[in-house]
Chain A
Amino acid sequence: MDDLDRAIVNRLQGSFPVSGRPFAEAAMQLGTDEDELISRIRRLLDSGVLTRFGPLYNADRMGGAFSLAAMSVGPADFERVAATVNALPEVAHNYEREHALNMWFVLATDTPEGIERAIARIEAETGYPVFNMPKLREYFVELKLEV
């Protein structure tokens, strides 16, 4: 990664314009041009430095809901359960963590009832209980990761 790649990662996390030529506009801010910015973003996506580029939607502002949920899965069963959980479109992220509760996933659904439905389905399909931990409050979230 060079300085321009770093600038793209650090400065384009939240301010991509909504306009007729947004790459050209953003490129000007970053001291590059439209074509270069487009090809850099494509390369950063291809190489896995970026997981995504575009709007980040907030399900709970659409009349839907988000929740964090955790399970304690036996090691012999882990891959099977991960595949079952990941197969649900409602599962947005899933992480393995070092703890008795070793599988942590985020559910995002377009109705509040969707969370309970997805959890019931996961419990039925995997045979493991799911701990639902919806956020009750969010404190001062902003972007702070820099390269």
Chain B
Amino acid sequence: MAGRESPSIDATDRRIIVATQGGLPLTPQPYHAIAQDLGIEPGEVMERLRRMLEAGIIRRIGVVPNHYAIGYRANGMSVWDVPDARVDELGQKIGALESVTHCYRRPRHLPHWPYNLFAMVHGRDRAEVEAKVAEIAALLGDAGRGHEILYSTRILKKTGMRLAQ
């Protein structure tokens, strides 16, 4: 993967990541609070965060809702077996659907696991997820050689990424 040869974060970035990966302080000046804890200037903390945003090291800064708590009780991971030669073309189309929140190409594990395209679909109930999956099936046509929906039944852990201290 790009950038692996030269790590794109330094020791100071890393300290900022460790200090913020669990969340931002709920105080009027959260970046100042972090700066004070780390003994860094607030301006530098903010500059480094902006740089990490630009570089994609930070995907976004904001609230992370619990799907279940906001009414998306059915969480279906739809998995598809599509021809390798067409997976990128089809993945772009599926990923662009309003109803698909994440779409990835992943390796098959034959013979146990024939699926190479994953599309996350959330709905208020399973009927809504199934309607959205039918939309994907229609879009794939003959290229969708097989699929399943794996519903989540329990969140066992959801802490997000944690760098070691």
User: Residue A13 at the B interface, CB < 8 A?
Assistant: yes
User: Residue B144 at the A interface, CB < 8 A?
Assistant: no
C-alpha spacing A138/B58, complex, angstroms? 16
Closest to B90 in A: A139
User: Residue A98 at the B interface, CB < 8 A?
Assistant: yes
Interface residues of B in 75-111 (CB under 8 A from A): 75, 77, 87-88, 91-92, 94-96, 98-99, 101-107, 109
- Say which residue of A8, A38, A93 sits within 8 Å of B157 (CB atoms): A93
User: Residue A118 at the B interface, CB < 8 A?
Assistant: no
Closest to A79 in B: B156
Q: List the A side residues contacting B158 at CB < 8 Å.
A: 51, 92-94
Kindly provide the distance from the CB of A93 to the nearest chain B CB, expressed in whole angstroms: 5
- Say which residue of A8, A20, A91, A134 sits within 8 Å of B31 (CB atoms): A20
Count of chain A residues with a beta carbon within 8 Å of a chain B beta carbon: 77
Using known A-B contacts A13-B65, A56-B59, determine if residue A92 contacts B91 with beta carbons closer than 8 Å: no
Kindly provide the distance from the CB of B126 to the nearest chain A CB, expressed in whole angstroms: 10
Chain A residues proximal to chain B, CB less than 8 Å? 8-9, 12-16, 18-24, 34, 38, 41-42, 44-45, 47-63, 65-66, 68, 70, 82, 85-86, 89-99, 101, 103-105, 108, 110, 112, 131-141, 143-145, 147
Is there an interface contact between B60 and A56, defined as CB atoms closer than 8 Å?
Answer: yes
C-alpha spacing A41/B63, complex, angstroms? 8
Closest to B32 in A: A20
Count of chain B residues with a beta carbon within 8 Å of a chain A beta carbon: 82
User: Residue B3 at the A interface, CB < 8 A?
Assistant: yes
User: Residue B136 at the A interface, CB < 8 A?
Assistant: no
Using known A-B contacts A20-B29, A59-B161, A94-B156, determine if residue A137 contacts B20 with beta carbons closer than 8 Å: no
Q: List the A side residues contacting B72 at CB < 8 Å.
A: 145
